[in-house]
Each structure stands twice: as structure tokens, then as C-alpha cells.
Amino acid sequence: MKMSEFKRMVAGELYKASKVEPEYKPDNNRALNQEINQLNLLDTEKIVALEKELFGQTGDELFVNPPLYIDYGKNTRIGQRFYANMDCIFLDVAPITIGDDVMFGPRVSLITASHPIDAGVRQRGLEYGKAITIGNRVWLGAGVIVNPGVTIGENTIVGSGTVVTKNLPANVIAVGNPARILREITDSDRLYWEEKENEYYEK
């Protein structure tokens, strides 16, 4: 049996967006996205309630600071205690999976959509997407762009303005365009910041 156009899209196969939209009917999600962006920023309870409706799955605690921009919404699944600063983009033609205790700076872009290298095939309207996976306790700095098909391992930090084109392992700091590993995150980092934390509570 031939796969539906929407299932082809989510599975990372070639598809035509013009055929997906009538089948999937994303208009309600896009209207919901627009409603969130028009709310008073102090109305956090309403914002969170609508965001839980917008995304495919969320934890109990999350806050994505408007404005935010989403393609489908239901293809993005988010773990517990997620925070994203303003102006983030979730281009989720393929699945986006975000773990627990993840933080995004402003203008982070998760881009699952891509197009064929061949200009003729591209011109004829075929495109595809590749899933993005963000591990637990990852921090993406301001302006980070994550490209299609990328997985970022748990605890990893990605510096501001970085373009992540390939997978990153757990427990590293990565920077640059394209992203390169600056160094590993070590026990000395933990000890240093736990000492600073103790000083905070003692003062």
C-alpha cells in the first residue's frame, strides 16, 4: 500500500508539501501559533496552556517565550522542564524530539526540512526532512541553528551563533560554523560550579 504524503514526510522520504497540507490540515495549529504570539507576555498561564496544545507532547513544566514559530507543532515532542527564550523556530516537517531539562537561548532554530541537491528534482517540488534529537540537559545558546538529521548528546552546550551540521556527542562544549568541539565538560567544571552555588547560598 502506498504511503500517504504526510507519512512520507515524517519518515524522511521525498514528498510534496502541496499534497501534505490538504491531507494534514495544519491550519488550526498555525492559528494557535499566531494566537500565542499575540498574547500579553504576562499571561503566562494562557501561553503555557496553548503551547501544550500546540506541541505533540510536553512535560508538565515548560515555557517557550513568544514569539515562537512552528511549522506543524504536532511533530515536536518535548520532555520535562523545557525553557526556550524568544524568537525560536521549530521547522518540524520531520520529528523533533527534545529531552528533559533542556534550555534554548533566543532565536534558536531547529530545521528538519531540506531539499534535493539536484536542481531539476528540487524545481519539480519534491523535498524531504530528517529528524532532530536533542538530549537531556542540553543548552543551546542564542542564535544556534541545528540542521536536518542532527542528534545532540546529553549535557552538551552549544555556543551562541553555532551552526550544527553533524551529530554532537554527550558532555562537550561546541562552537563555530560549522560546529566543532571546543572541549569536554569534566568533573572540574562540576566542582567549580558547585562551589559557586554553595557560595551563593552562604551569602
- Write the Ramachandran bin of 176: left for phi over 0, alpha for psi from -120 to 50, otherwise beta: left
Coil/strand/helix, residue 28: helix
Question: Which residues have C-beta within 8 Å of that of residue 56, sequence separation ≥ 6?
Answer: 73, 74, 75, 76, 77
Q: Which of 74, 115, 151, 170 is catalytic?
A: 115
Question: Do the Cβ atoms of 26 and 7 come closer than 8 Å?
Answer: no
56 is catalytic: no
| Cell 519539480 -> residue | 124
DSSP string for residues in 98-149 = E-TT-EE-TT-EEE-EE--SSHHHHHTTEEEE--EEE-TT-EE-TT-EE-TT
How many Å apart are CA 134 and CA 33, to the nearest integer? 22
First vs last C-alpha separation in the chain: 67
- Which residues have a catalytic role annotated? 115
